[in-house]
Chain A
Amino acid sequence: MQVKPALFQVDEEKFEAILNDPRTVRYQRKEPLEERTFVPIIQVQPGTDVLELLGRYGDDDDATE
């Protein structure tokens, strides 16, 4: 039976392979932290279901559906 690794554990072999894959793109922040924040871009009607917008089951659907 496969045992799931704990939160934050990473399979180093697989991770290194992905990092060394030329198709993988890596962006590392150079600016000081205070100049960068995550900001909202688009205003939508209150309560708009983000999962439904993404074409998934909405929050009203049963999670095991």
Chain B
Amino acid sequence: MILRTRRTIYLDSSILVGATLAGSSHHQATSDFCNRLTQESYQVVISSLVRFEFLNVAFKLASGRRSLSLPVDAQHVRDPLEWSSDYRTRRSWILTVVDAFDRNLDSFADLIEISVNPSIWQETADTVARYQLGSYDALHVATALDAGIYSFATCDRHFLSVGEINTVLVRDDTELLFPAP
């Protein structure tokens, strides 16, 4: 193993989703953190799974399945029946938020997006068994380790149980311990 110090960090989906949802828990901390990574030109590594997790959250919110407020961008959808019956309404809104999410990702100086591959799949299965994480959570750990990255930013304290990574907790209720390399 050849180790080198880099300004490189893996971002769990909770960081990117938290930073996009104004009002949510840890929004301030994650938003500040993402802007710091942007301003200081960190190399940011993500799994492509992040996009699907974001899409799932956005659709849940817009559909009102969780009895939460509609996203501000969807306030024009006055009639819930319109949302549930009109494909064009849903498509228009979904494409709007997906485009905004892409633009946020574009703000990072250097973004590396890793797809699921057979090696990560095997590592994910092992991580599920070893740490009793959910499969999506385990996939993020497996992706980071497969890429040789040990600095892992998340809002989720459950990752503290993973001994192979350096978990950087980014939360509104926790002091951020993230010194410059």
Which residues of A are at the interface with B, using a C-beta cutoff of 8 A? 2, 4-15, 18-19, 21, 23-29, 33, 36-51, 53-57, 59, 63-65
A37 touches B112 (CB 8 A): no
Partner of B1, one of A11, A28, A45: A11
CB of A4 within 8 A of CB of B163, answer yes
> Does any Cβ of A come within 8 Å of B141's Cβ?
no
CA distance A10 to B3 in the complex (A): 5
Determine if A42 and B112 form an interchain contact, defined as CB atoms under 8 angstroms apart: no
B127 at the interface (CB under 8 A from A): no
Partner of A42, one of B21, B26, B103, B136: B21
- Chain A contacts for B147, CB-based, 8 A: 14-15, 18
Chain B nearest CB from A9 CB (Å) reads 5
Count A-B pairs with CB separation below 8 Å.
210
B8 on interface, CB distance cutoff 8 Å: yes
Does more than half of chain B's interface fall in helix, strand or loop, or is it mixed? mixed
Task: Name the distance in Å between A65's Cβ and chain B's nearest Cβ.
Answer: 8
Point out the residues of chain A lying under 8 angstroms from B103, CB to CB: 39
A-side contacts of B27, CB under 8 Å: 40, 50
Assuming A38-B104, A40-B27, A48-B21, is B150 touching A9 (CB within 8 A)? yes
For A57, list chain B residues within 8 Å (CB): 158
Known interface pairs A11-B148, A42-B71; A51-B97 also in contact (CB < 8 Å): no
Q: Please provide the 4 A-B residue pairs with the shortest distance between their CB atoms, ordered closest to farther.
A: A11-B148, A14-B148, A8-B181, A40-B22
Contacts of B113 in A (CB 8 A): 24-27
**How many angstroms from the CA of A11 to the CA of B18 in the assembled complex?**
28
Select from chain A the residue with minimum beta-carbon distance to B71: A42
Shortest distance between the CB of B106 and any CB in chain A (Å): 6
Cβ contact within 8 Å between A26 and B110: yes
